[in-house]
Chains A and B, each alone.
Chain A
Amino acid sequence: MPLTVDEKSLKHGVLSLVLTLTEVIQEALERQALRRINGGDLTLEESERLADALLELDEALEQIKEDHGITASVADLHRGLDEVVDDVVDKLINPRRWAEEAGA
């Protein structure tokens, strides 16, 4: 599965890539934040501050995507990356497919 970066404009392509990676990091931060909050170590005040900050980050990212009109291409790229990962994981846990691919 090749990744397709918008060819028309290199700037948009690079920006989309950066934002996609930022989204991945953001997603990781959000999931870890959820774990920390559920872990019960944080005080209520800290949880609120954390949630506010992540919400602000989310809004800022959405705003940037909107401003540059790359919401769609970021979503595409994100899906493309997911498919690559899906493919790799599939192969790793399913050695039989190697043989299938080699045979085909």
Chain B
Amino acid sequence: MRCGVTAERAPLRPTRDPRVTLDDLVEVLLNKGAVLHLDLIVAVADIPLIGVNVRAVVAGMETMLEYGMMRQWDEDTRAWAERSVRRRGLDLREGESVVCRMSGGHLLAEGIYTGWRPGTVHLTDQRLVVVRDEPREVLWQADLDAVRAARLEPERTVGGEERLRLRVALADGGEALLSAQEPEKLHARLTDACAGRLDTPFPFRPAVEEEPLHEGHLWFHEPRRGGPLWRGGQGRLTAAGLVWKAPVDSRPALVVPMADIAGVERSAGYGPAGEGTVFVVRTTDGGEATLAADDPAAWTERLAAARPAMGTG
């Protein structure tokens, strides 16, 4: 919009461009800025009950800065962005270039501590690196020259899901386990990058996979504050003990070490899997866990067999 003043004819007279678009309207609004002050009282029978006081300003950032608003915030945001942009990615060596990059992690096994540390896996034409952004740290890295072999390994998580991990063997005899968003792609690219240098066969000892004695779908009568609740999940019985985990949980809700199992018995109760599908696992400290399965006999037999000393009821 513009205001035209014609000296001789009429006084101030608004004229307008033939077309005003929504975009123009928004631009004018943002360039000028809009201020809203609202005071509101909600009253019942003339007695004020709720007070509302709103002060809102909408404007383009440039207009905000002109009026001295949000200046510090603007500077801080840009400074932070600058830092994070510089941090993003990897400090590359001379002549090094990134082949692929994906989120992933490195399994740190140091002393008694074993745990996944998440970060970003970078494969360059010289190195394989796992970097964590915040706080900044190179979690693990190896030169491609030192990589002797790489293999995808399925890892059984507690919940029974299988995830592929990348196991890497190094020239100095060390090895590392990496997780990656697309393990197959990382493995393929790594194999390409080390073309001809990867030894086959894989020099590692075969991973000791703990063979489950029995596993399958299992209901757990979980004690909760509002009363116990049947929940479905995956049960897994190994020589180490009985573990139950629901698919939505991040960790198992029930872990009973084999040594703590005092007994197991069928219960006459009614479970989600039908009549007579319920069985109770008793622990040495007097506790008990109520479970239900489609094949309760198989579970109780295997539990009893795993721990011959205990009696079955």
B34 proximal to A (CB < 8 A) = no
- Complex alpha-carbon distance, A84 and B22, angstroms: 8
Once the chains bind, are B16 and A35 in contact (CB under 8 Å)? no
Distance from B13 Cβ to chain A, minimum over Cβ atoms (Å): 10
Residue of B nearest to A20 (CB): B22
Once the chains bind, are B23 and A32 in contact (CB under 8 Å)? no
| With known contacts A28-B26, A36-B61, A90–B78 Cβ distance under 8 A | no
- Complex alpha-carbon distance, A28 and B28, angstroms: 10
Interface residues of A in 39-68 (CB under 8 A from B): 39, 41-42, 45-46, 49
A99 proximal to B (CB < 8 A) = no
Distance from A75 Cβ to chain B, minimum over Cβ atoms (Å): 13
Which residues from chain B contact A49 at a C-beta distance below 8 Å?
85
Once the chains bind, are A32 and B61 in contact (CB under 8 Å)? yes
Q: Binding site of B, secondary structure by majority: helix, strand, loop or mixed? A: helix
Distance from B87 Cβ to chain A, minimum over Cβ atoms (Å): 15
| With known contacts A32-B60, A32-B62, A35-B62, A82–B16 Cβ distance under 8 A | no
Once the chains bind, are A93 and B14 in contact (CB under 8 Å)? yes
Which residues from chain A contact B60 at a C-beta distance below 8 Å?
32, 35-36
B21 proximal to A (CB < 8 A) = yes
The proximity string for B residues 14-33 relative to A, scoring 1 for CB distances below 8 Å and 0 otherwise, is: 10100111111111001100
- Complex alpha-carbon distance, A28 and B29, angstroms: 10
- Complex alpha-carbon distance, A39 and B63, angstroms: 10
Which residues from chain B contact A81 at a C-beta distance below 8 Å?
22
Once the chains bind, are B31 and A85 in contact (CB under 8 Å)? no
Residue of A nearest to B15 (CB): A93
B65 proximal to A (CB < 8 A) = yes
Interface residues of B in 42-94 (CB under 8 A from A): 60-62, 65, 74, 78, 81-82, 85
Chain B positions near chain A (C-beta within 8 angstroms): 1, 14, 16, 19-27, 30-31, 60-62, 65, 74, 78, 81-82, 85
8 pairs of A and B residues whose beta carbons are closest in the complex:
A82-B21, A27-B23, A32-B60, A35-B62, A85-B22, A28-B26, A89-B20, A86-B20
Additional A-B contacts beyond A36-B60, A82-B21 (5; CB < 8 A)? A32-B61, A35-B31, A36-B61, A39-B62, A85-B21
30 sampled A-B residue pairs with Cβ under 8 A:
A24-B26, A27-B27, A28-B27, A28-B30, A31-B23, A31-B27, A31-B30, A32-B60, A32-B61, A36-B62, A41-B65, A42-B78, A45-B82, A46-B82, A49-B85, A78-B22, A82-B19, A82-B21, A82-B22, A82-B23, A84-B22, A85-B21, A85-B22, A85-B24, A85-B25, A86-B19, A86-B20, A89-B25, A90-B16, A93-B14
